[in-house]
Chains A and B, each alone.
Chain A
Amino acid sequence: MSTATTAPVTPGDTTSRTDRRPGLLAPLRWEVRKLRAQYRAKAVLIGAVLLPIIVVVVIHGQSRPPKDTLFGRFATVNGYAIALLVLGFAAQWVLPLLTAVVAGDIFASEDQHGTWKTVLTRSTSRGSLFAAKAVTAAGFAVLVLVVLAAATIASSLLVVGHQPLIGLSGQTIPAAEALRLVALSWATMLPPMLGFTCLAILLSVWSRNPAVGIAAPVVIGMVMQLVGALGGVEPIRPFLLTTPFEAWHGLLADPRFTGPLTDGLLTSAVWCAVCLGAAFVLLRRRDITGG
């Protein structure tokens, strides 16, 4: 077993190179590198910067404010109001879509490219790979939310201005405090958004189809939104993943209430845990026959 002189590979060593385990960060670095190379992820981030600017400019130019939505009535004259109007609009389907573009694709794309067999014949376990993909999808969700929030708030304040805001109890909120509350309201989108990330991951693993992984969470989100708005089925509301998207209302009331926020955190966590658990079991037990 020591005849290897011409070949570049020297097998037979008992301490072969491949006996080494990759660290937990290696698969994560790989996933991030793949994401950075994807046109789609960049397009989403660019969209998250440009879309709010366009929306803010267009709404600001309207002669009649969009009164049907919370804070819509002051949207043309108050920067904080328009930032919250965009927030309410984003929560309806934009945020689930933005996270699903990556989370709904990150597993199914391996099926699409037939690369499961490529990555699963290396030294990284399915568990590590799953964790790396989930963390990457969650990280992207955080990034895109921060970008969207920053672009919205910045363009709102620049285009419309930073007048004192009228809150949801009719109280007048001074500009500095309003900025803090608006930023905080955007931050409260994170738990349900991550819930949708987990849902998209589950659908991505289950369907093995990027189109389903991306579109289905958005559709499910809209159905939940619809069910949540119905009268008569209100006991279901706390269990819906879209309910936490409205928990920020409490921050803009006087006195402030945070019950929906803590409930929403719990709801989002349960959704995420169940979806991730199911997705992991599906992936672990799966026979990779394709590719």
Chain B
Amino acid sequence: MSDLLAVDATGVTKTFGAVRAVDDVSVRVAAGEVYGVLGPNGAGKTTFLRMLFGLIRPDAGTISVLGKTWDDDGVGVLDGVGGFIESPRFYPYLTGRQNLEGLALLDGGVRPGLLEEVLALVEMTDRADQKVGGYSYGMRQRLGVAASLLREPRLLVLDEPANGLDPAGIRDMRALVKRLAASGLTVLLSSHDMDEVEEICDNVTIMKRGTVAFHGTISELRTMAPDPGYLLATTDDTRALALAEEHPALQVVRDPEAALVVTGRREDVSTFVSGLVRAGIDLLAFNPTQTPLEALFFMLTDDSTHQTLDRPVELTKAAR
């Protein structure tokens, strides 16, 4: 089982009308790893995951899940796979427990006690006998995780599990995913949040407009991260801008909000800032604009490239 790929998707393509939602995407997830699919909304993450679950039929390409394919195994391809796509949905006129009982029927039954276990795991035991129609978004999300775990999956597919949750909910959800991953589960996680992926995942695929923009490990991603940018507010921005001429390694531009944005290596920024102070220009504010990976993420997925970055990006065809 260890050398079997949990997910092996090759050249997967899907077109809706004139829109190519997923274009020649290949993803390989090894057993036991936590894999992130990252991209802004509309990048094709969800369409890809739907194809994984057989909800959408790909136009081209092959998808094998735990060694099985839709063509050969039909719904058997989902054996050992659990998860949800977008926000999990349930029957509002049934209670949480009734929903899970029904889904267990569709799974061919579950071992005794498991239902209570998964409810307890997502801390929904108290609310299980209320109708889902009255659940909050976060409760439905947790019930979704419970419903996925009811399948005792070997591969757990979660589509934006923290989406729409409050900060505490996000923290709990991430902790839960980490705990599940630690138990040896293969996890395929989609997200539009770099932080989340960085925190949880081993490997990542970044998607942009249906295509793969980056493919590799988190540490590979880190080495590609651009120099950090800083927001700088001074008592005399015009003079500070003039002084920046002496530091060719730095890029300093005026921000629309009447501050300066400085991009460059840490040492160069440090030299520049101390130069400002020596010249009698006081610093009013000095803040990092975004984390390096965040900057990279935007760089990879946004067409309107940030003015703060002048490093050419040629990562779109990066191989694993």
Contacts and interface: CB of A to CB of B under 8 A. Distances in A.
Interface of A: 1-4, 6-14, 16-23, 26-27, 29-30, 33-34, 37-39, 113-126, 129, 285, 287-289, 291
B121 A16 contact: no
A64 B80 CA distance: 70
Contacts, number: 174
B317 to A, nearest CB: 29
B55 A18 contact: no
A113 B91 contact: yes
A21 B74 CA distance: 12
Interface pairs A-B: 10 shortest CB-CB:
A7-B183, A22-B108, A122-B106, A114-B89, A288-B55, A20-B108, A125-B75, A4-B183, A287-B56, A124-B106
B105 A1 contact: no
17 contacts: A3-B183, A4-B184, A9-B153, A11-B184, A18-B82, A21-B76, A22-B105, A22-B109, A26-B105, A117-B55, A118-B90, A118-B103, A121-B83, A123-B108, A124-B106, A287-B56, A288-B56
B36 to A, nearest CB: 19
B147 interface: yes
A260 B222 CA distance: 79
Contact of B89 (A18, A118, A287): A118
Nearest to A5: B183
Given A122-B107, A124-B75, A289 B56 contact: yes
Interface string B5-48: 00000000000100000000000000110000000000000010
Given A115-B91, A123-B151, 20 more contacts: A1-B184, A7-B185, A9-B185, A12-B1, A17-B107, A18-B82, A18-B108, A20-B108, A33-B102, A39-B93, A113-B92, A115-B90, A117-B53, A118-B89, A120-B53, A121-B82, A123-B79, A287-B56, A289-B50, A291-B85
Contact of A17 (B102, B111, B179): B111
Contacts of A117: 50, 53, 55, 84-86, 89
Contacts of B183: 3-4, 6-7, 9-11
A13 B121 CA distance: 20
Contacts of B55: 116-117, 120-121, 287-289
B194 interface: no
Interface residues of B, number: 59
Nearest to B157: A121
Contacts of A7: 179-180, 182-183, 185
B154 A11 contact: yes
A119 B47 CA distance: 17
Nearest to A116: B55
A4 B109 CA distance: 22
Contacts of A10: 152, 183
Contact of A3 (B2, B79, B117, B182): B182
Nearest to B83: A121
Contact of B75 (A11, A118, A123): A123
A165 B94 CA distance: 49
B105 A27 contact: yes
Contact of A18 (B47, B79, B92, B180): B79
A222 B16 CA distance: 37
A11 to B, nearest CB: 5
Given A37-B93, A120-B55, A29 B98 contact: no
Given A22-B108, A30-B105, A9 B152 contact: yes
B110 interface: yes
B265 interface: no
A102 to B, nearest CB: 14
Interface in B109-135: 109-111, 114, 117-118, 120-121
A2 B121 contact: no
B32 A1 contact: yes
Contacts of A22: 105-109
A38 B108 contact: no
A263 B121 CA distance: 60
A100 B258 CA distance: 65
A11 B108 CA distance: 18
A123 B78 contact: yes
Given A1-B184, A37-B94, A116-B55, A16 B84 contact: no
Nearest to A132: B106
Contact of A291 (B57, B89, B93, B107): B89
B242 to A, nearest CB: 55
B54 interface: yes
Contacts of B16: 287, 289
